[in-house]
Structure 1
């Protein structure tokens, strides 16, 4: 995983990028976090979805070893496919979005190369701990942790909630936010609008995309997130008319700050 993280330097050099805003999901989030730890000056801020910061546990290791054996010997079996569905969406996906389930099942069966997937899974379960911790001493605040602002997202039905909570407990609460989005397992597929809105506001809190604005209906206002100085809090507002967020002035007018996102996790 560390080798994959170092390969991002090659990509940045190819495109002549001095720093980036990171967006990673699952294993990609773990790789991005490793890159940010090794090269903090090259990452402005990050959005991590379902990120694990620890080594693979015995249960995960055992299940994945069984999947590796099946993928190499038999290809994409029904057991492997069901595990991948659980890994991405958690339980009860059929009840929430039957069409989405069918699309992913067909994708796993027809478009995934079993041997390559087995090699990738083998690398992921051999991952090392990120070795980060929350430092209470102000003088050592930036040691052994992610120095940039981090938005840590998961879904209410995701099997990776505990991983994201563990990561959140190891980050500096002044520059990190943990967000659990309701009624979904895989947030990008089931609640893309909420993720997009939260990410836009997160970027505005970092000084980017300040000119972006769009009209929100009263239905979408419920669960709106506002961001200030890299910290996020939930603004619960009841409105009967549409709300416009055009320009920086209106965005700044709605800023709310929480000092510790752990004690009062944001849920939309």
Structure 2
């Protein structure tokens, strides 16, 4: 049994709301967090070191646990507070166990890694998750990952497909980094501070140019809440990742791909758009939903939590779960897509026919 240290904590409020083009984002609709149950923090021992997690609720035999993984430059609070504090999302998550994962050394208040510490590879970060699943008695997970976290969850699903029931992958880039990318990153790091090196990974050029309130807030949060040495180790490892070994069935001999339902999400003005489109081309179109969010930059879960919550609700319904009132699996199978009248949703293999949220209110 994996060892664990745990204590209760009070969830923080979302970051300040951002205004884009004079129009309020969904963050204006975020209500103060109303705890459905007590949150607990855990430090879990895995074959590749200790991993920090925050959980709410208990594992259920008839439902997957929602497991999240954040992007580089963030932690579970900076990455997911706005989404999980959104009132509509709480109506969903009260029926599921929620487990937020922090990459090693990225959680708020983390001690600096010792000198000579070898940060886990991206494959090893994925290999740490079975210890978490086993520790909490989770049968299957429904993963929500952003950027590096999306890559880790996709890798986990390729390695342990029976543990994954579904994935929501935001801003995923399935490609590895070549030596030119590595050299460019090294040169950029020599002339820029670490937060300024990472911000273009998180935000669109438009957001950075306009120096929005959201960008300023996150620059400050990265500077003040994440250990810089630990962050550099995670950033270096992400930038040395190898390509996800997956291809659409039939396109390559002995190809493998994600077997579970997948929802790919990217903003229409996001630095990750090209990578998400590439990932879409590698997945089975019969169980993949491509969601391109209109009027959204690099972090749609922050700027448009309401739209993403609605999409997530329909994703769950498509998998056969009732997300409104009843807390049980549908006996009659998945909800027909025809019932999804308030969100343009399509299963697609190309961006040109992808569904898109139009930015109108729910």
TM bracket, shorter-chain basis = 0.7 to 0.9
2:250 is the counterpart of 1:162 = no
Alpha-carbon distance in 2 for matches of 1:252, 1:184: 21
Alpha-carbon distance in 1 for matches of 2:341, 2:277: 30
1:49 aligns with 170
The change in CA–CA distance for 1:190 and 1:57 in structure 2 (over 3 A counts) is farther
2:284 aligns with 172
Shift of 1:128: 1.4
CA contact (8 A) 1:149 1:230 kept: no
1:84 aligns with 198
2:66 aligns with none
Shift of 1:25: 0.5
CA contact (8 A) 1:36 1:43 kept: yes
Q: Under a length normalisation based on structure 1, what TM-score does the superposition of the two structures give?
A: 0.75
Shift of 1:231: 9.4
Shift of 1:82: 2.6
Q: What value does the CA root-mean-square deviation take over the aligned residues?
A: 3.1
2:348 aligns with 260
Alpha-carbon distance in 2 for matches of 1:55, 1:230: 37
Deviations 1:37-93 (A, max 9, x none): 0111110000000111110145542343245557xxxxxx54x33332221111121
The change in CA–CA distance for 1:259 and 1:84 in structure 2 (over 3 A counts) is closer
1:182 aligns with 294
2:31 aligns with none
Shift of 1:253: 8.0
Alpha-carbon distance in 2 for matches of 1:171, 1:45: 13
3-state SS in 2 of match to 1:201 = helix
Alpha-carbon distance in 2 for matches of 1:45, 1:92: 32
Q: Under a length normalisation based on structure 2, what TM-score does the superposition of the two structures give?
A: 0.56
2:309 aligns with 196
- Unaligned ranges ≥5, structure 1: 71-76, 214-227, 236-250
Matched pairs, number: 228
3-state SS in 2 of match to 1:17 = coil
2:57 aligns with none
CA contact (8 A) 1:152 1:178 kept: yes
Shift of 1:189: 1.2
The change in CA–CA distance for 1:153 and 1:254 in structure 2 (over 3 A counts) is closer
The change in CA–CA distance for 1:259 and 1:266 in structure 2 (over 3 A counts) is closer
2:157 is the counterpart of 1:33 = no
CA contact (8 A) 2:189 2:197 kept: no
Alpha-carbon distance in 2 for matches of 1:96, 1:190: 15
CA contact (8 A) 2:319 2:334 kept: yes
Shift of 1:136: 3.2
The change in CA–CA distance for 1:187 and 1:39 in structure 2 (over 3 A counts) is same
3-state SS in 2 of match to 1:92 = helix
The change in CA–CA distance for 1:95 and 1:135 in structure 2 (over 3 A counts) is same
The change in CA–CA distance for 1:258 and 1:161 in structure 2 (over 3 A counts) is closer
3-state SS in 1 of match to 2:234 = helix
* Higher helix proportion: 1
2:48 aligns with none
CA contact (8 A) 1:50 1:164 kept: yes
2:81 aligns with none
Alpha-carbon distance in 2 for matches of 1:59, 1:192: 35
